[in-house]
Structure 1
Amino acid sequence: MQTIADSKKLFQQLAKQALAPPPNLTVSEWADAHRKLSRESSAEAGQWRTSRAPYQRAIMDAINDPYTEDIVIMASAQVGKSEILLNALGYFIDFDPSPILFIQPSGEKSKEFSKERIAPMIRDTPTLFERIGETKSRDSSNTIMFKSFPGGFIAMGGANVPSSLAARPIRVLLADEIDRYPVSAGDEGDPLDLAEKRTNNFYNRKKIKVSTPTIKGASRIETEFELSTKEYYNLPCPRCEELQPLRWEQIDFETESHRCLYCGHLSNEFEWKNQQGEWVATAESTIRGFHLNELLSPWRRWREIITAFKRAKRKGTEALKVWTNTSLGETWEEEGQKIDDEIIYNRREEYEADVPDGVKVLTAAVDVQDDRFEIEVVGWGIDRESWGIEYHVIHGDLKEPKIWNELDLWLQKTWTKENGTRFGITCTCMDSGGHFTQEVYRFCKAREARAIYAIKGASAKKGEYVPLIASTSRPKPLKALLVTLGVNDGKSRVMSSLGIEEFGPNYCHFPIGRGYEREYFKSLTAEKLQTRYESGTPYQVWVKIRARNEGFDLRVYNTAAIEIINPNFEREYSIATVTRPVRRRRRRRGVVK
């Protein structure tokens, strides 16, 4: 039976433990001891192990260095960069309570990250759950965008929302995917600068900036990395033991091995990754900067990376750009920002029929002007190889029903392959951004069953990335389906495709005649990409070099249409087969005979 003296002794021990200072843990040690990976975001749910990806340890522990204020991580996908931020967040909540600002590229992305990554981490990590608990919509101390805990709080912010960046002083700034930030948060200026100023009241502030890079000369993370120690994770050669980073140019495709820079020996992936590596700085700076590529990742096999590279190379420039950013963690240097209209005009072809044999599906795009509709029909085949089918203009008064009826009838046309297969338009994107917005909504609403959709360009901030299919809505009062497009993304895709010179993935074919005359190609190439600067921050913008750009816009809308329907290119989206043989057509200089 326990005596009063025993109870008193036990109480004293518990009190002593409660009052004792916490053990001196680093971020990686905290994660190894406490962090739990959630089922929603990890294929390896359960206890965190830094040993799974040992290159992460020095990055996380740099946060504990009292002399290091800024940490920059320029990285590919599949290397755990978001997990590093989450471990830092967990450490500060549990071990070093502080006011924290966690920024994502937009308010919407911030909400998603909070719900899909932060909330599960708090739920599954007991020591964090004790301090924060469950998110409650009516509890202002614990919501999706704000969570308080003893000694601090987490404020979630969107780089496009000025109020979320300048509301309160913070000690810890966690900035994710900074290459996706707009150049300015409203009229307030650079969102990263705004957020960093919030840390000025703290002598022990920490600023951690992370991103996959984008375009050379317009990449924030590249700019930050160039100002840093520029550290690369070096592994010893399994044969000669000379330290070196894993680089793509030393990968041998046949053997799926990495060639030593010094002895030339080829060692396979597992021989390299089993070595104990170390970070090597290539510059002097007070900013710690780390570069990571997928070759280091324990979650990505070299065979997969090589296959992805070959696939991207086959698909063309746009795919290769994405692979360079997301697999190598390197910026992409644009080679040609403008396409010569004369070159494309001169490569026009004579098609064997209305619809060339490689076409599987037709889309259409309609540009709405005050006195006309401009329409382009495009055929699409495997790997997004495209064929211009017809460019057509309908003139008239858009205030009168006659021209709208003409447009309706024209969009019901069919085109035929040499074997007699007939094709109609599978999806149409129609511009609603001019002076006839409600008329476009009314036209499209009545024809949604034919997949005729109103579209408009997204109002993106300078430098902000918006995907081609940005969102959908049903504006009142007509509630027609409206698809919002990231037109800059679409223009980059079109320009990359126009630059491809060999038949195959993403190549753009154009016929002789059918409306594809010199003026069309001038309007197709009427814009070019320029790098501009605002308060020293680079961003890219498409600028007109000619007044008429309808051809360029229509090809972007057609690209959006094929993205919307996302067809299976193993089948044909035809109407029926014509029983009578199709009359062969001979074309000379655009004249059908």
Structure 2
Amino acid sequence: MFDYQRFGSTAGDALQANVKALDRSMAAGLRPPRRMKVSEWASANRRFADDDPIPGPWRHETAPELVEIMDALTPEDPCEEASIIKCAQSGGSASAENWIGFISDLAPGPMLFVQGTLTAALAWAAEKFWPMVEATPKLNPARGGTIRAQGTADGDGSTKGKIRFARSNGFVLLAGATSAASLRQRTVRYAVEDDLDQYPDDVEGQGSPETMVDQRLKVWKRQGLSKRLKISTPLIKGTSKIGRSYAASDRRRFYLKCPECGSRFVPEWGDIHWPDGAPEQAHLIPPCCGFDHVEHWQKGGMKLPDGWLSDEIEGEKVARVLTEEEFKAARGRMPASVKRGFHLTGIISSFQTWADMAVEFVASLGDLNKMKAWTNLVHGFEFELKGGTPDYEKLRDLREQGWGIRHVAMLPVGVLVVTLGIDVQGDGVYVELVGWGPNAESWTLDARFIPGATDVKGEGAWVDLDQYARRQMVYPGGRSYPIDQVCCDAGYNTEAAEAFCRSHPNRLAVFGRAGWSLPILGRGENLRYEQQGRKAGQASKRAEDKAYIVGTFGIKLSWYGFLRTTLKAAADELDGLISNARGRVHFNADLPDDYFEQVTAETIVTETVNGLPRRTWKPLAGRQNHWLDCRVYNTAAHEKLMLDTLTEADWAALRAERCAPMDGKQPSLFDGPIAVPIAPVQPKAGQEILPPMPTFIDAGSDYL
């Protein structure tokens, strides 16, 4: 026994206390971390702030389907890669957050967290991760937690792009799938690939982001110590990245336990039922016993933590409906695979009701783009593209009697809003004038080419286009109103197009962009970059330099669906059936023949990029697509006016306002304002030019 007292009582006691503290520290450093599953860590430590939707501690009862997903990420589990294909807001990302907290506490190491863009990754950290750290004492640096604070005086704290752990040299490096530099900076042990289907197929010519993450994990994977989590809502079947990853896994599905007969079953959309016209009363009829009916509030009791089961075990497909004994036996035979896939569907999600799903499903009927969004985000499945290009010759046969746009100066009955879509070319502009009514019904009123140079603002074709766009529309009853919204393609000769749009408040410069996940009309993509000074090359921060982006892929999908619906409705009406299909399209008798070829000029093809399939729109050989682009921009105008949000009462009020007779008298077909024709235009080679449409002047208008 060492004699501390020979140094005196005061010094001896201090030395002895220091030695004990050193002894405890050395023992703590040598002691292996406590064996704990990720789900156990979450239950013991994860907290939500008081202003969160579900405040307080993490409770497995809220979403028991997440327990097995988190436990697959525990270091002792043989799983190397977990894939979560999911609906929106289903808890997959929260599981990843719990895993990061667990790693910082019990298994520190280098991690890569990848989002679609670096901006999205930084937003995740600011909006999700740091609020979790602040609300969770185990992580909070102010309480001695496992995450280092940002902006520490010693410069050794967390930064905007790198989250440091208090223990060891562990960290989370934030990266964007569009930046090769951020994906090749470090060798890492762990990786989270969030929102996987938003990743590009190739990043800066260096291969796919997934391949680059493979390289970052290679050293740790060789030692059997790496872990990888892939999370995403899916997009298009056959090309979805998360769908491909799930297909390569053991493909686990979640079985509910029937509250009536006790059997286990995988719920499908066909099991959800509701009375006619009342989707808000949706309920589930289990396929095991057909009990009518199971209400949404019973869902929580039907979900048990052991609900996951692979769809194939030992080479045999597992049935959708199993007795409890069969289910337990199958669970016992299910191997602990190194690649696990979990399908978090909307039906099992704790965070949306069956009624909510049914209401949104009914609202999506008849619109393929909306149905795709419902399938991906609400249902949590890949969307399968079906159907070919509509037959333009059959569409041409559907031209209706001239509505008076050229002849009797009157819009057809049913039109309550008018938009104009413009596609800009070097030698002129293509225009399509469209009338809209409830239920996305549309009337193609006019389609023409206005020739002239477009590279100089205010000159050439822009002069005649400006006069065309200022015309007044005369509704049944004789009242005249201006075109409600104009959307002009500004991707070509941008400055001239923007100058045209700035000259009138109802005009919008838009930029078409390819992509299945883009909204119909979004704002936020940078159009200009600083040209000089210390910020040269950086994206402009001015609001006016943020472009209105039009998601062309989804709009074309809806348009082709509406055309097929129109052909079917016309066939049904020949058989005496009445059709009220969403998106019915009417065509003016005066439309040029090549209009129908152009609005069906593209088809969906499968390309191969870096050995992986990609579904995209491509023009058909020998077909121009200018009026198809015009219809895309008209749909963006429809979205800008938020016509889909109008109720029946809103449409009725609009009809009463615009179609009311002038001075209480309904005019005859020979009455009407004075027609002022625009200047005639000369046709380009091979292009038919229609007679100019009269411009109707309303003397009281503020738009002229």
Structure 2 match to 1:496: 561
State the Cα distance separating 1:401 from its structure 2 match: 2.4
Tell me the equivalent position of 2:371: 320
**Alignment correspondent of 1:437:** 494
2:669 corresponds to 1:584: yes
1:305 and 2:316 equivalent?
no
Aligned pairs for 1:412-451 within 5 A = 412-434=470-492, 436-445=493-502, 447=503, 449-451=504-506
Alignment of 1:177-576 (within 5 A): 177-202=195-220, 203=223, 204-254=225-275, 256-268=282-294, 269-275=296-302, 276=304, 277-283=306-312, 286-313=338-365, 315-350=366-401, 354-398=410-454, 401-434=459-492, 436-445=493-502, 447=503, 449-458=504-513, 465-472=517-524, 475=528, 482-501=547-566, 502=569, 506-514=582-590, 516-545=591-620, 546-567=622-643, 569=646, 570=650, 572=654
For residues 173-204 of structure 1, give each alpha carbon's deviation from its aligned partner in whole angstroms, at most 9, with x where no partner exists: 11112122111112111111111221011021
Gaps spanning 5+ residues in structure 1: where? none
Q: 1:94 aligns with which of 105, 122, 130?
A: 105
Is 1:117 the counterpart of 2:154? The answer is no
Give the match's secondary structure for 2:238: coil
Question: 2-side partners of 1:533 and 1:172: how far apart?
Answer: 29
- Secondary structure (helix, strand or coil) at the match of 1:199 reads helix
Deviation at 1:83, TM superposition (A): 0.9
Which whole-Å CA distance do the structure 2 matches of 1:16 and 1:158 have between them?
40
Larger C-alpha radius of gyration, 1 or 2?
Answer: 2
Q: Give, in whole Å, the separation in 1 of the partners of 2:177 and 2:290.
A: 46
Larger CA deviation: 136-145 vs 106-115: 136-145
Distance 2:152 2:547 in 1: 30
2:47 aligned partner, one-letter code: K
Distance change in 2, residues 1:103/1:401 (3 Å) = same
Change in Cα spacing, 1:474 to 1:178, as seen in structure 2 (3 Å) is: closer
Pair 1:256–1:410, CA change in 2 (3 A) = closer
The structure-2 alpha-carbon separation of the partners of 1:120 and 1:522, relative to structure 1 and needing over 3 Å to count, comes to same
TM-superposed deviation, 1:419: 2.2
Give unmatched runs, 5+ long, in structure 2. Answer: 1-12, 276-280, 314-336, 405-409, 532-541, 570-578, 671-689, 694-704
Q: 1:482 to 1:221 in 2, by over 3 A?
A: closer
When structure 1 is superposed on structure 2, of 571-580 and 228-237 the one drifting more is: 571-580
User: Which has the larger displacement, 251-260 or 122-131?
Assistant: 251-260
Whole-Å Cα distance in 2 between the matches of residues 99 and 373 of structure 1?
55
| Structure-2 change in CA distance of 1:347 and 1:95 (3 Å) | farther
Name the CA distance, whole Å, in 2 between partners of 1:443 and 1:85. Answer: 48
What SS is found at the alignment partner of 1:557? Answer: helix
RMSD: 3.4
CA–CA separation in structure 1 for the residues paired with 2:85 and 2:254 = 12
1:143 aligns with 2:159: yes
Q: Does structure 2 conserve the Cα–Cα contact (< 8 Å) formed by 1:352 and 1:418?
A: no
Q: Give 3-state SS (helix, strand or coil) of 1:127's partner.
A: coil
Q: 1:77 aligns with which of 77, 88, 110?
A: 88
CA distance in 2, matches of 1:480, 1:59: 43
The range that moved more, 343-352 or 576-585, is: 576-585
Instruction: Name 1:27's counterpart in structure 2.
Output: 38
Asked if the contact 2:450/2:465 (under 8 Å) is kept, the reply is: yes
Amino acid in the other structure paired with 1:258: L
**In 2, are the aligned partners of 1:233 and 1:278 still within 8 Å (CA)?**
yes
TM-score where L is the length of structure 2: 0.75
Q: What displacement does 1:79 show?
A: 1.9
Does structure 2 conserve the Cα–Cα contact (< 8 Å) formed by 1:442 and 1:480?
Answer: no
Q: Is the deviation greater in 135-144 or in 25-34? A: 135-144
- Number of positions where the alignment pairs a residue of Structure 1 with one of Structure 2: 578
**2:191, 2:228 within 8 Å by CA — same for their partners in 1?**
yes
2:178 to 160, 174, 191: 160
How has the CA–CA distance of structure 1 residues 307 and 488 changed in structure 2, closer, same or farther, with 3 Å as cutoff?
Answer: closer
Partner of 1:61: 71
CA contact 1:318–1:497 (8 Å) conserved in 2: no
Letter in 1 for 2:419: T
- Could you report, residue by residue, the CA deviation over 1:515-559 in whole angstroms, capped at 9, with x for unpaired residues? x22201101111111111223322111111033110111111111
| Conservation of the 8 A alpha-carbon contact between 2:520 and 2:550 | yes
